[in-house]
Amino acid sequence: VTAKFDWARFTSIADRITGEFVQRTDAMAEHVDASILFSDGLCMCALCEMFEVDQVIEVGTGYGGSTEMFGRYFSGHSRVRRIWSIDDAVNPRWQWLLAVTHIRRYSRYVWSTEKRAKEIAHARLAAFSNITLMHGDGFDKLPPLVRRLAGEGQRIGLLIDGPKGELQLRLVEQAFALSPLVAFAALDDIGPMYDAEQRHARFMASGRAVFATSDPQYFDRYRSINRGRLPGRMLKNTAHRGYGLGVMVNAERHAAATGAA
Ligand SMILES: C[S@@+](CC[C@H](N)C(=O)[O-])C[C@H]1O[C@@H](n2cnc3c(N)ncnc32)[C@H](O)[C@@H]1O
């Protein structure tokens, strides 16, 4: 954890909200494949509380596991008014057209489109009045949404779980530069197991990185909330070997604009 981040304050908030987070997500008994861990969802909610954000924007809805965690935790009682989630997965019927026309880069549609992630996410999240699903590329959809919400004076927290590696960092930097009201970003799959792609090293070198949920300091403290709700790939591992959220803060700009943490 870097010195510029108030770890003691963060953990006191995460400790305080753990019970409510677990209770509110309890109905989601199983871990959803391809989703962030429940302990990662807790991290995101604690960051939202710490930075007093009004809006959450997620890039990468997938099956909607993370979106549902936030929809449940932030329902009714909270300062976070809305969770926006952007994904460019398409209905499989359109897949052939995209492949034939090369209108868009095809590769990233493959698993989420083929597995009907869009339909699954829409069905499971339909009942949440505090969630808005948006279709499109995060690079197209995120900047105008940030501009609009920040223009209304809303404080924003980001989860970037679509583009990875260089693109993921670039999208965060773009969003941070758009407004000081973008308080923080959590980047999924930043754990050290990805060092083959130097994701972790690049994240740490970015200058805005503060910690990752795969760090033992975080994971060992909150791992118990996953209980049996871990993905199959992790059931035998005692450590969080990767897939963690990397947390970056827009600290100086945000503090200057809001007087906040
Ligand atoms: C791992 S899944 C997201 C999982 C979800 N956040 C959760 O924790 O349950 C990644 C998703 O990102 C989407 N995606 C990838 N690149 C994207 C981009 N540039 N813009 C929007 N969505 C993107 C894919 O279609 C896929 O559904």
pTM of the complete model beyond 0.75 = yes
CB atoms within 10 A of CB 164: 18
> In the prediction, which pLDDT does 116 show?
87
Q: What is the pLDDT of residue 154?
A: 97
Crossing angle, helix 166-178 and helix 138-151, to 10 degrees?
Answer: 20
Q: What is the DSSP letter of 180?
A: T
Give the span between the Cα atoms of 64 and 87, in whole angstroms.
10
* Short-list 191, 249, 185, CA closest to 218: 191
Q: What is residue 236's DSSP assignment? A: T
**Nearest residue by C-alpha to atom 26 in ligand 1:** 62
- Dig out the tokens for 18 from the structure: 């753990």
Residue type, 74: F
Q: How far apart are CA 238 and CA 162, in angstroms?
A: 26
Find the 260 Cα to ligand 1 centroid distance in Å.
30
Q: In tens digits, what is the pLDDT along the chain, a chain of 261 residues? A: 776 799 999 999 999 999 999 999 998 866 677 889 999 999 999 999 999 999 999 999 999 999 999 999 999 878 899 999 999 987 766 666 666 665 555 455 567 887 889 999 999 999 999 999 999 999 999 999 999 999 999 999 999 999 988 899 999 999 999 999 999 999 998 877 666 678 888 898 888 999 999 889 999 999 989 877 877 767 766 666 667 899 999 976 666 666 654
92 class by beta-carbon count within 10 Å (0-12 exposed, 13-18 middle, 19+ buried): middle
pLDDT reported for residue 103: 54
Ligand 1 neighbours by CB, cut-off 6 Å: 32, 34-36, 59-63, 65-66, 86-89, 108, 112, 117, 137-139, 161-163
Q: Which pLDDT score, from 0 to 100, does residue 254 have? A: 63
**CA–CA separation, 163 and 14 (whole Å):** 27
Q: What is the pLDDT of residue 250?
A: 94
